[in-house]
Every structure is written in structure tokens, then in C-alpha cells.
């Protein structure tokens, strides 16, 4: 079944004949059979609308099971799925539609009018709607179709999706992901993390990002497992789901927020076998507090839109807090200096990755692709990392966030770790701000856990841990740090906000 469509065949194989619910949602439960049958209807509708092999289907909708059926339907129709964050404003959508020129755009009914101009300018042929309850013109159209759609043939190297990366500078870039990149990475994760038909995953992530869309959904489908599908992260929803769940995939904020709730206990999580964190750094302290409270060791992994998952702490074996673990089977990872020469343990350098998991380049940006994806297949991730004697990797930050002050390299994470250790500090972000003498000056933006902490407290207490050139020239105490939906601190926004500090 689905044999001629590389990714769909692999997502379907474990589910054949399984008449249990894949999605438990408290409203839109689905058996595997229903899920794939609905996806076939979406594929039939897209084909009726004239979608051809390789056409893009851009989708800016709220989280729903139907949106995932549309993802699979797009793949079955031989097209390229292009999910967009529901928070994007019309001007941003204009950029994506102009860049990707999709044949179809699917919008939430509440936003569709605002997007009209963007759709017109980009020459999108069809606009349809889908709301968070699975209603709208797309669903109406799909309901008119019958199941049994014969998938369009797609082979391993064909594109299945384009995901735009947030990008720290300039315009977002569309990462082109092939059937093989997605299928091979999910297969590795199913195996490495021990997913089986008995697993029940708590899914509280957004589905426009690689984490919730590919890591969580593809892994569950491929394993024939099931998921409790929550519209978004909320502590009550997760706590209610935990007693019947076996696994959860989350960003560090999930774990931090859950730790604040007294209902989180080892009893509550006793059926859970695996709690995974990624997409942003998990503090070693959070890892340790989680273990103290529940007895579970969070498994931290590292990936990105362009590469799917690259490294993971082991399922069996030592999970080291503060590290992202070891290269996954089939993924090559190296840490290199500025000349591309491999570094040895303990030396900080640029992380490069090669394997079937790596993307096929940036959509219509050959120069950008050539800068970051070498002809021999190594992708320059833009992350800086260091490997320990056992081969475990730690991420030190993005290379674009590296601060060069007075000619010395300052790795923000090292300074942040020293500041976070000061009593009364909740969290911090360290950035480089233009400075006439030093080129860049180290600046710390700090959130206090309790009132009363001052710049001097932080300066005094970190002085003993940091060489003079690493010490912040200014410490700014703020109420909160800017974060995106995946919990990543937006350093670019901070740099812009404080750009004039030394002028």
C-alpha cells in the first residue's frame, strides 16, 4: 500500500490493520484507518484543484488533526507541504507566498480576509480555509471526495516539505526536505528511542515546526504508536495526560513550567518511560531537578530544521545533563576550526553534519545553499559546540551570537552559566553590542527570580569565575526575555533593542 510514494509508504507501514486510535484528542479521535482515509480525501481534493508533482501547498492554520491529515494528503498528492506559523502577519505571509509560489494556500477562516492581498500578489490559484475544529472550505471539499486515492509516485530524492527557518539575519530561508531525509531520520529515532505500538506520546508542540511535525508525528506514525494530541502546551492538559502516557517530547519551557506545579511527582509519571527535550538548551539544573522530583532523566537531543535530528543522549546508557549526547546512527557530526579542520575533545568549534537526514538546500537561494552546504555533503550548522572525552557534544551557542570583544572570543553560554549560578537569578541572555574600543562589548540581560538583585551583585559574584574580557560591561535587569514559540531566546531582538547602549 502506498508503495510508490517513498515517505507515505514508510509512515503507513506499521499502521496497516491497526484499528486503534492514533490520535486521542477529546473531540477528534481517529483510528489509523480513519486518519489515512481522510488524508486520501485531502490528496484527491488537491489533485482536483490542479496540484501537480512538486507544487507547494502552503498552510497557515491552527493546530488540529485535520492539519496533519492535510500534511499527509499533500505528500500523497506528490506535492510539497509548507507549514507556516499562525502568528505570521500579512506582510510576512506575502514574503512566503511570493517566495514559494504555492498552488494552494490554506488559511484559518478568521485570517483569510487579511491575507487576500498577499494571495493576489503571489498569484496563488486557490485559497481554502480550515479552522482549529477541522471545519472550513478545505474540509467541505475533502468531504465530497472518496477514499482510496492512489498516491502520486515519489522517490527518495523528491521534496516532501519546505520549512522556513527563522534565520538570525536577513530573510527566512526555505529548507527543502526530501522524502528520504524525513523518512530516514524518523526511522532512526523510532529505533534509537525504542518507540513501539504500545507507546502513547503527549503531543503539545506546534505542528508548523520540525519538532512537532516531523519528530513527534512521523515517529508516532512510523511506530504505529498513538498520541494524546493537545492544542497547545498547558500544564493542566499535560498533567491530566501523564498517567496514561509513556512518552513526551517537549521544549525546555515545558519542563520548567511543569516543575513549578506541585502535582508533578514520580507517582504521576510512573507509566512514562521517556521524556525528551530539544529545540533550545535545557539547563543542567532543570535536568537535575526533574530527576530529583520524578526519578526520570530527561533525554536531551539536538536538531534543526535543515537537518532533522543530529545527536541524542542515549536511551540506554548515560544521559549527561547539559549535553546533547552522541551523533545518531547514520549521522556524521564533526567539530571544526575556522579552516574546516577537525578539532579534538575540549576544543570549541563549528558543528558540521552529514547524512541522509540533511536537507537538499534552500529554496531558490543557490548562493546561500553553497555557503552552508558543502559539495561533499557536510552542512555548516551555524552552531558552536564542543565534544568531551566520551564523544558527548555540548552546544555553546550560535556562531552568529559569538561575541568578539577586544579581539577575544566570548561564548555567551559560558557567561550565562556563571550568571545563572548567582543566587536570585532566574535566567540570562548574553549578547554583544557594538562598542567603539572593543568592537563588541559583552552585555548581560538578566531576569531576577526574586526582587532586589542588582548589577553589582552579578558583577561581583561572577568576577571570580570569568576572565576580565568575558565579564559583562553592563548588566540589565528585565522582567522577561523575548522567546519564540519553540522557547528559543531571540538574541537578535535583544541586540536590536540595546544597539545604542554604548553610543
Is there binding between residue 349 and ligand AMP (CB under 6 A)?
A: no
Site residues for ligand AMP, 64-123, by CB under 6 A, read: none
CB closer to ligand AMP out of 40 and 306: 306
Distance between CA atoms of 55 and 155, rounded to whole angstroms? Answer: 15
Is there binding between residue 35 and ligand AMP (CB under 6 A)?
A: no
CB of 460 to ligand AMP, least distance (A): 29
Site residues for ligand AMP, 187-206, by CB under 6 A, read: none
Is there binding between residue 280 and ligand AMP (CB under 6 A)?
A: yes
Is there binding between residue 302 and ligand AMP (CB under 6 A)?
A: yes
CB of 413 to ligand AMP, least distance (A): 9
Supply the DSSP string of 176-210, one letter for each residue. Answer: EEEHHHHHHHHHHHHHHTT--TT-EEEE-S-SSSH
CB of 164 to ligand AMP, least distance (A): 10
CB of 99 to ligand AMP, least distance (A): 17
Contact 64, 83 (CB under 8 A): no
Distance between CA atoms of 498 and 478, rounded to whole angstroms? Answer: 12
Check residue 178 and give left, alpha or beta (phi > 0: left; psi -120 to 50: alpha). Answer: beta
Distance between CA atoms of 67 and 106, rounded to whole angstroms? Answer: 10
Distance between CA atoms of 393 and 309, rounded to whole angstroms? Answer: 14
CB closer to ligand AMP out of 102 and 278: 278
CB closer to ligand AMP out of 24 and 431: 431
How far apart, in Å, do the first and last CA atoms of the chain sit? 65
Write down the residue that cell numbers 522517490 correspond to. Answer: 155
How would you write 288-357 as a 3-class SS string?
HHHHHHHCCCCEEEEEECCCEEEEECCCCCCCCCCCCEEECCCEEEEEECCCCCECCCCCCEEEEEEECC
Distance between CA atoms of 287 and 276, rounded to whole angstroms? Answer: 11
Site string for ligand AMP, 462-501 (x = CB under 6 A): ------------------------x---------------
Distance between CA atoms of 221 and 207, rounded to whole angstroms? Answer: 14
Is there binding between residue 297 and ligand AMP (CB under 6 A)?
A: no
Eight-class DSSP state of 14: G
Is there binding between residue 57 and ligand AMP (CB under 6 A)?
A: no
Is there binding between residue 305 and ligand AMP (CB under 6 A)?
A: yes
Q: Which of 66, 300, 401, 440 binds ligand AMP (CB under 6 A)?
A: 300
Specify which residues 395 forms β-bridges with.
Answer: 385
Is there binding between residue 372 and ligand AMP (CB under 6 A)?
A: no
Q: Which among 71, 80, 219, 82 has a CA at the least distance from the CA of 160? A: 80
CB of 304 to ligand AMP, least distance (A): 3
Residue 47, number of CB atoms within 10 A of its CB: 19
Is there binding between residue 310 and ligand AMP (CB under 6 A)?
A: no
Q: Which of 38, 127, 218, 279 binds ligand AMP (CB under 6 A)?
A: 279
Residues 6+ apart with CB under 8 A from 232: 63, 204, 206
Is there binding between residue 165 and ligand AMP (CB under 6 A)?
A: yes
Instruction: Write out the E strands in 221-312.
Output: 226-229, 247-250, 274-277, 299-304, 308-312
Distance between CA atoms of 90 and 125, rounded to whole angstroms? Answer: 18
CB closer to ligand AMP out of 239 and 280: 280
CB of 41 to ligand AMP, least distance (A): 31
CB of 459 to ligand AMP, least distance (A): 27
Is there binding between residue 395 and ligand AMP (CB under 6 A)?
A: yes
User: What are φ and ψ of residue 253, in 5° steps?
Assistant: -55, -35
Which range in 89-97, 100-108, 300-308, 354-362 contacts ligand AMP by CB under 6 A? 300-308
Is there binding between residue 385 and ligand AMP (CB under 6 A)?
A: no
How would you write 61-112 as a 3-class SS string?
CCCCHHHHHHHHHHHHCCCEEEECCCCCCHHHHHHHHHHHCCCEEEECCCCC
Instruction: Please classify residue 273 by burial: count the beta carbons closer than 10 Å to its beta carbon, then call 0-12 exposed, 13-18 middle and 19+ buried.
Output: middle
Is there binding between residue 177 and ligand AMP (CB under 6 A)?
A: no
Which range in 297-305, 448-456, 458-466, 493-501 contacts ligand AMP by CB under 6 A? 297-305
Which range in 26-34, 264-272, 276-284, 459-467 contacts ligand AMP by CB under 6 A? 276-284
Is there binding between residue 224 and ligand AMP (CB under 6 A)?
A: no
Which range in 185-193, 226-234, 256-264, 273-281 contacts ligand AMP by CB under 6 A? 273-281
Helix (H, G, I), strand (E, B) or coil at 461: helix
Site residues for ligand AMP, 314-343, by CB under 6 A, read: 324
Which range in 95-103, 130-138, 181-189, 299-307 contacts ligand AMP by CB under 6 A? 299-307
Which residues of the shown chain bind ligand AMP in the complex (CB under 6 A)?
165-166, 210, 278-281, 300, 302-305, 324, 381, 383, 395, 398, 486
Amino acid at each position: 500500500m502506498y508503495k510508490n510514494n517513498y515517505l507515505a509508504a514508510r509512515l503507513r507501514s506499521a499502521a496497516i490493520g491497526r484499528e486503534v486510535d492514533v490520535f486521542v484528542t477529546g473531540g477528534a479521535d481517529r483510528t489509523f484507518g480513519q486518519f489515512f482515509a481522510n488524508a486520501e480525501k485531502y490528496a484527491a481534493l488537491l489533485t482536483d484543484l490542479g496540484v501537480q508533482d512538486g507544487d507547494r501547498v502552503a498552510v497557515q492554520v491552527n493546530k488540529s488533526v485535520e492539519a496533519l491529515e492535510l500534511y499527509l494528503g499533500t505528500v500523497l498528492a506528490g506535492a510539497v507541504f509548507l507549514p507556516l506559523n499562525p502568528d505570521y502577519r500579512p506582510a510576512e505571509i506575502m514574503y512566503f507566498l511570493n517566495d514559494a509560489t504555492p498552488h494552494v494556500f490554506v488559511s484559518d477562516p478568521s485570517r483569510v480576509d487579511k491575507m487576500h492581498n498577499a494571495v493576489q500578489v503571489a498569484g496563488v490559484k486557490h485559497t481554502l480555509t480550515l479552522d482549529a475544529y477541522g471545519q472550513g472550505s478545505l474540509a467541505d471539499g475533502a468531504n465530497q471526495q472518496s477514499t482510496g486515492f492512489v498516491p502520486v509516485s515519489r522517490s527518495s530524492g523528491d521534496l516532501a516539505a519546505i520549512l522556513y527557518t527563522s534565520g538570525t539575519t536577513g530573510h527566512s530561508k526555505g529548507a527543502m526536505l526530501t522524502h528520504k531525509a524525513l523518512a530516514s531520520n524518523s526511522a532512526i529515532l523510532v529505533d534509537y528511542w525504542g518507540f513501539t505500538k504500545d507507546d502513547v506520546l503527549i503531543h503539545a508542540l506546534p505542528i508548523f515546526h520540525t519538532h512537532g511535525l516531523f519528530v513527534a508525528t512521523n515517529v508516532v506514525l512510523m511506530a504505529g504508536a498513538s498520541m494524546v494530541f493537545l492544542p497547545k502546551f498547558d500544564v493542566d492538559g499535560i498533567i491530566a495526560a501523564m498517567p496514561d502516557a509513556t512518552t513526551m517530547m517537549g521544549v525546555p519551557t515545558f519542563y520548567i513550567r511543569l516543575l513549578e506545579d506541585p502535582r508533578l511527582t514520580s507517582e504521576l509519571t510512573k507509566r512514562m518511560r521517556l521524556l525528551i527535550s530539544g529545540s533550545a538548551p535545557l539547563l543542567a539544573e532543570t535536568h537535575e531537578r526533574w530527576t530529583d522530583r520524578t526519578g526520570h532523566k530527561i533525554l536531551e537531543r539536538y536538531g534543526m530544521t535543515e537537518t532533522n535530528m543530529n545527536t541524542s543522549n542515549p536511551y540506554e546508557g548515560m544521559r549527561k545533563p547539559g549535553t546533547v549526547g552522541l551523533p545518531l546512527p547514520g549521522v556524521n557530526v564533526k567539530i571544526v576550526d575556522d579552516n574546516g579542520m577537525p578539532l579534538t575533545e575540549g576544543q570549541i568549534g563549528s558543528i558540521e553534519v552529514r547524512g541522509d537526514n540533511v536537507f537538499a538546500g534552500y529554496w531558490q537561494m543557490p548562493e546561500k545553499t553553497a555557503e552552508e552546504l558543502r559539495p561533499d555533503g557536510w552542512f555548516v550548522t551555524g552552531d558552536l559546540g564542543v565534544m568531551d572525552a566520551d564523544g558527548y557534544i555540548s552546544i555553546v551557542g550560535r556562531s552568529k551570537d559569538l561575541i568578539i570583544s577586544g579581539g577575544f572570543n566570548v561564548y555567551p553560554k559560558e557567561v550565562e552559566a556563571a550568571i545563572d549560578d548567582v543566587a536570585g537569578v532566574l535566567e540570562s541572555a548574553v549578547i554583544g553590542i557594538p562598542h567603539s574600543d572593543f568592537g563588541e562589548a559583552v552585555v548581560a540581560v538578566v531576569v531576577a527570580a526574586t526582587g532586589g538583585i542588582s548589577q553589582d551583585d552579578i558583577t561581583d559574584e561572577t568576577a571570580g569565575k570569568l576572565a576580565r574580557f568575558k565579564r559583562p560591561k553592563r548588566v540589565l535587569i528585565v522582567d522577561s526575555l523575548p522567546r519564540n514559540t519553540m522557547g528559543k531566546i531571540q538574541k537578535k531582538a535583544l541586540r536590536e533593542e540595546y544597539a545604542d547602549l554604548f553610543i
